[in-house]
Amino acid sequence: MSDAVSLLEGLGLVGTALRRHSSSGISSTARSLQKDSAFCLFLGLSTLGFFHRTSSESLSLKKLRSQLALQGNPLPRAASKNHKATSSRQKKIDSQQFWKELQWLLGVAAPTATSKGGQLMAAQFVLLVMRTMITVRCTKLNTYFLTRAISKASWSDWTKWVYSFTGWMAASTVVNSGLRYMESVIALELRQKLTERAHRKYLLNNAFYRLAVLRHGNLGTVDQRIVSDIDAFSREAASLYGHSFKPILEFFLSLHEASKELGMGRPIALFASQFFIGATLRGLTPSLGKMVALEQELEGNFRSGHSRLIASAEEVAFLKGSEAERALLDESLHRLIGTQRWHALKRIRKSIVDNITKFQGLLIGGCFVHVPFLARKSAEAAERISDFRATEELMLRCGSAFSEIMLLGKSLDELAGYTSRIVEMFRALETPPPARDAASLALATRTANEAKTKDAIVITNLTVHQPSPDGTEPRVLITGLNLTVPKGRHVIVTGPNGCGKTSLFRVLAGLWLPVEGAVAVPAGKRMLWLPQSSYLVTGTLRDQVTYPDRPTSSRSTDEKIADCLEKVGLKKLCKPSSDDALGLGVRHHDWNDVLSGGEKQRVSFARLLYHKPEYAILDEATAAINPEEESKLYEMVLGVGTTVFSIAHRLELRKFHTTELHVVGDGSGTFKLSELRNTLDWM
Ligand SMILES: Nc1ncnc2c1ncn2[C@@H]1O[C@H](COP(=O)(O)OP(=O)(O)OP(=O)(O)O)[C@@H](O)[C@H]1O
């Protein structure tokens, strides 16, 4: 459609020029040209001034940094790296890397030509060819035939033009709408395939924990990359696909048509000169890829600040922390906006270079075409004008297509920003955790087999350190622990805050790798974790109890769930209705907001009673429940035959355990194991 509009605009301009020429005569046109030249000179000088301003070092980061420093917002380090001039060699290496990464990402979305993505791209290609053919056809129609009709004052030629023009415009409308539709469908396909792959990897082997908590890969906000960067990449890539084929096709088709009149020598000389000028101008533009990557990073930080406030809304409200939170959010916002402002300034420089590239192409291309027609004295005037207009228009299209091809590099640069962030994420997701030495691996395998055969938790020669992502000396939490927990051996872990009790459980869950030794636990759903802060899933009351299972609702399952809820004192949460007799379908926007601390822990116990695992790992799982009720819950758990491995600060809970593991927590990794035989009389 935009082509149709530009064609009509073009016709309007031709009409205006003809009118001006015929009504005012040469002298008034010359006067108007003089005025135009003065105006152009003024504009050109202003542009040069601005260009100088944006590229001058004095205004660059130093000034922005000092502005931000005044607001307490120093510019992120990445921006200063970004500002440093990169050598042409470095740029070349980056672009090679980009093509590899882009190819890999597109391969994920369209692995073969017959895949859905491949088919969509093929269909888009057909539409692109059709649109270009229509554009070339319309150009010829509007220039040659229309000019001829007007110069001969021929009504019949003009009527033919009206018919043809209407037909081609109808075809153009259909094809352009199809192209736009295909572009959005391709973007959606890219987004879906890349996000699905990200989800698969992110939720495999607790990769989300490694990335979010242990900061593997130093990715910052991973959610921003999955939710926003993939979306932006998909849109950009789909749009670029359409916009890169259009000028390439248009260039060759227009060149083919124009060469009939001009021969091939002139166009080749023209485009060789254009290539040289384009390459020189390209060196003056900033690196958009890095700018985009930095902006996305800061966007992610800003968004995660808001998410954190929502997640801890009650705590912040109790602590009257609104002012502090506002300052933190504003700080993050200022960092983002400051960087975007600076980038907007740099983008103007890019836009100026883009326009110069485009206009010089039109100007030089025009001159190449004028010469042979100025030299052609013999032909009849009407014929010469028609030929000239048709050839000029084709060459102008050809030149503008060539400029667009030269400018594609810059659009690709922007795409490179998203590409590098997404590939970096996939690299971190798909890189396995650091490999262990052969001896430790052999020990881990032997220990795992032992656990399978013995149906026990087996801890062999275990040493655990606190992780240190920043490379500082890690603190030793536990050294040389050997412990086997067969069924019926209930272990309580005690020790001061921060001594490493939960860390031991993290190693059992495979979230942290031991520095030495090995742990093995019964596989699959034979173990259930009840963490310090209960996890409540998005969904119904039924979902809270059955998590992580999602069984289809049936009478017997619902009765079992309702029974578990009753046992832990949460029957009151059920809201029976005519189509939900047991009231398990009740749903809240966020269960964390509507349940008290003790109720959340009871939900975890209902989950435990529902799953009846062989082993339960209880990490201060009754800390928010009163001591009397706490004992009842423990009795229930032991009553269903579950062996417990608990962390507890209340010593009364010792009576439910047979072994105590006391971690000293003095940084030496010392611990003490003792049997608690006297306390088991009640069992
Ligand atoms: N992801 C992490 N990265 C770095 N250090 C961590 C991480 N998680 C925990 N730690 C540190 O490891 C140490 C042991 O933590 P852990 O959670 O095991 O303590 P704990 O004994 O369970 O304490 P509490 O009784 O207070 O729950 C603490 O000093 C803690 O700061």
DSSP state letters, 318-349: HTT-HHHHHHHHHHHHHHHHHHHHHHHHHHHH
* Pocket around ligand 1 at a 6 A CB cut-off: 213-214, 466-467, 477, 495, 497-503
Probe residue for ligand 1, chosen from 216, 499, 618 as the CB with the greatest number of ligand atoms within 8 Å: 499
Taking residues 574-602, report their average pLDDT: 89
- What's the Cα-to-Cα distance from 282 to each of 98, 250, 318, 351, 603, rounded to whole Å? 18, 22, 56, 11, 62
| pLDDT per residue as tens digits for the range 65-102 | 443 333 333 322 333 333 333 344 444 446 778 888 89
Tokens at 64, concatenated:
């922005």
Beta-bridged to residue 644, according to DSSP, are: 616
Q: In the prediction, which pLDDT does 618 show?
A: 93
Indicate whether 336 pLDDT > 80. yes
Higher confidence at residue 87 or residue 267? 267
652 SS3 class = helix
pLDDT > 70 in the chain, percent:
79
Question: Can you give the pLDDT at residue 88?
Answer: 42
Predicted pLDDT of residue 378: 67
CA distance 8 to 620: 75
Per-residue pLDDT tens over the stretch 480-520: 999 999 989 999 999 999 999 999 999 988 888 888 888 88
Interatomic CA distance for residues 211 and 223, integer angstroms: 11
Q: How far is the CA of 501 from the centre of ligand 1 (A)?
A: 8
CA 316 / ligand 1 centre spacing (Å): 23
d(CA 550, CA 548): 7
C-alpha distance from residue 676 to each of 478, 623, 653 (Å): 21, 22, 11
Q: What is the rounded distance in angstroms from the CA atom of residue 290 to the CA atom of residue 82?
A: 6
> Looking at ligand 1, which residue's alpha carbon is closest to its atom 23?
498
* pLDDT of 410: 67
Which segment of 40-54, 586-600, 651-665 scores lowest on mean pLDDT? 40-54
Residue 610 pLDDT level (bands cut at 50, 70, 90)? very high
Residue 633: band (very low, low, confident or very high) from pLDDT cuts 50, 70, 90: very high
Please check whether residue 208 is in contact with residue 202, taking contact to mean a CB–CB distance below 8 angstroms.
Answer: yes
pLDDT at 51: 46
Structure tokens at 239: 């749009």
Confidence category of residue 617, pLDDT binned at 50, 70, 90:
very high
CATH number at 436-536+595-675: 3.40.50.300
In this predicted structure, the answer to whether residue 436 has a pLDDT above a threshold of 80 is no
Q: What does the pLDDT look like over 361-394, one tens digit per residue?
A: 767 777 777 777 777 776 677 777 777 777 777 7
pLDDT tens, residue by residue, 385-398: 777 777 777 777 77
The string of DSSP codes covering 561-605 is: HHHHHHHTT-GGG---BTTBTT-TT-B-S-HHHHS-HHHHHHHHH
> What's the mean pLDDT when you consider all of the chain?
78
Instruction: Read off the tokens for 636.
Output: 């229930």
Say if residue 63's pLDDT is above 50: no
Residue 142 DSSP one-character state: I
Is 462 within 8 Å of 519 (Cβ atoms)? yes
Please check the confidence at residue 108 and state whether its pLDDT lies above 80. yes
| The overall pTM is greater than 0.95 | no
- Judged against a pLDDT cut of 90, whether residue 606 lies above it is answered with yes
What tokens appear for 159 in the block?
Answer: 């009527």
- The angle subtended at Cα 646 by Cα 516 and Cα 643, nearest 5°, is 100
The two structure tokens encoding residue 455: 């149906």
For atom 24 of ligand 1, the residue with the nearest CA is 497
Determine the average pLDDT of the residues in 146-161.
82
Evaluate if residue 31 carries a pLDDT over 70. no
Q: Are 401 and 248 in contact (CB under 8 A)?
A: yes
CA–CA separation, 633 vs 616, rounded Å? 13
Weakest mean pLDDT among 101-115, 146-160, 193-207, 294-308: 146-160
| Cβ atoms of residues 587 and 539 within 8 Å | yes
Report pLDDT digits (tens) over 175-215.
989 999 999 999 999 999 999 999 999 988 888 888 888 87
d(CA 214, CA 209): 7
Model pLDDT, residue 287: 73
DSSP state of 539: S
| Best of 206, 478, 503, 670 for a ligand 1 pocket test (most atoms within 8 Å of beta carbon) | 503
pLDDT value for 364: 75
Handedness of CA 193, 194, 195, 197 (dihedral sign): positive
- Give the bridge partners for 464, in sequence order: 478
289 neighbors 420 (Cβ within 8 angstroms): yes
**pLDDT grade for 123, boundaries at 50, 70 and 90:** very high
Tell me the β-bridge partners of 516. 463
Burial bucket for residue 371 (CB in 10 Å: 0-12, 13-18, 19+): exposed
Residue 681 DSSP one-character state: T
**CA distances (Å), 443 to each of 450, 454, 486, 502, in order?**
10, 16, 19, 23
CA distances from 527 to 28, 105, 325, 458, 628 (A): 92, 38, 39, 13, 26
Neighbouring C-beta atoms of residue 162, cutoff 10 Å: 11
- Of 12 and 316, the structure prediction assigns the larger pLDDT to 316
Point out the ligand 1 atom lying closest to the alpha carbon of residue 466: 12
Q: Give domain limits for the chain.
A: 1-62, 436-536+595-675
Ligand 1 nearest-atom number relative to CA 663: 21
Percent of the chain with pLDDT over 90: 26
What is the pLDDT at residue 42? Answer: 52
Most informative mutation of 215, 502, 670 for ligand 1 (most atoms within 8 A of CB): 502
Is the per-residue pLDDT at 637 higher than 50? yes
